[in-house]
A = this chain, B = another copy of it.
Amino acid sequence: MKFEAVTIKDIAKALGLSTSTVSRALRDSYEISPETKKLVLEYAEKINYHPNPIALSLKERRSRSIGVIVSEIANSFFSQAIDGIESIAYNNGYNVIISQTRESQEREQINLNYLTSRSVDGLIISVSAETSDFSFIKDIISRGMPVVFFDRVVPDIDTHKVVVDNYRGAFDATRHLLESGYRRIAAVTNSETLSITQDRMAGYRAALAEEGIAEEPGYIRSCPHGGLVLAEVNTAVEGLLAMETKPDAILALSDKLTTGCLRILKNKGLQVPRDMGLIGFSNSDLTELIDPPLSIIKQPALEMGEVAMNSLLQLLNSKQPVTEFNTHKLAPQLIIRTSSVRA
């Protein structure tokens, strides 16, 4: 079945006018007499005419749609960010096409290829955990595609970026753990190639160093798929628990890792925060209801989406190539609850 649309030709034929005249009348051109305009407008209204956006896209060489690439839609952080992106896009007449990579480099590549060849006007990307080769992204940017990174950025690609102050988030959380009396603080991390992982780890290390605590390599466990596969988290936590001097607290460096760690600790019968302190990045709005109420570092996901879309709009609307790029660094929110406070 096809959705039959009425075209400008139908109007022209019905009214005995040329398509040019109808087009001009609809666009309220000064070259058309008021009577003709009225005639056309009324008839167009009557038969429910809407200009074919595809024809327009072809003519204007832009589609008024943008692509968003994330690893997983069903993740609080990303869905909140997409919410923000969609809101701003909606207000500016842009459609949002989403696609997910599931942390796979291959899918990222395919999606990127697909979206750019489908003529999106711009892209908002949070790179996949698996991706190590960014030449493709670099390439499409150099060919003139407006791109903004959010959350997981690529440091050596020059374009607008929107991130949270990951260093500070991890630093503050670690310091909080230290102030709570924890000393042997482990970090369960996402893929180490990710910018966010590196920044957060830097904050973690800095906080430890400040306190004069030597870094214990065994306390750092990475989950390449960032909690997407729970088995990885399980291995990480078990590894930690099997050490001769176990850590007394865990800093989890991403959404799914935080709740994943808690899940596993509970399964193993450990008491949080007594046996093991826990704090982590999370954007779930249920963390306060959890047992124990989770201390978290929260990212302003909605706002990040909004800022990202606004940055993209700036690129889209600029006449000459943009050469000055900025990275918006938003403040994370440290919310101390029970899971990180020793009774």
- Name A's B-contacting residues (CB within 8 A): 1-5, 50-55, 57-58, 61-65, 72-76, 79-80, 82-83, 86, 90, 95-100, 111, 113-119, 121, 140, 143-146, 259, 262-263, 266, 284, 286-293, 302, 315, 318, 320-322
Residues of B within 8 A of A73 (CB): 73, 79, 82-83, 86
The answer to whether B50 touches A54 (Cβ under 8 A) is no
Q: Is the CB of B99 within 8 A of A86?
A: yes
Interchain CA distance A90-B107 in the complex, whole Å: 10
Query: A114 — which chain B residues lie within 8 A by C-beta?
Result: 95
Partner of A2, one of B5, B140, B144, B287: B144
**CB-CB < 8 A to A146: which residues of B?**
1
Contact partner of A54 (CB less than 8 A), chosen from B1, B51, B119, B292, is B119
The chain B residue sitting closest to A96, CB to CB, is B98
Whether the pair B98, A1 counts as a contact (CB closer than 8 A) is no
Once the chains bind, are A86 and B58 in contact (CB under 8 Å)? no
**Measured between alpha carbons, how far is A61 from B7 in the docked complex, in Å?**
13
Docked-complex contact B99 and A97, CB < 8 angstroms? no
Q: Which chain B residues border A293 with CB–CB below 8 Å?
A: 291
Q: Bound state CA distance, A118 and B55, in angstroms?
A: 10
Contacts of A121 in B (CB 8 A): 3
Q: Is the CB of B74 within 8 A of A80?
A: yes
For A75, list chain B residues within 8 Å (CB): 79
Query: Once the chains bind, are B61 and A58 in contact (CB under 8 Å)?
Result: no
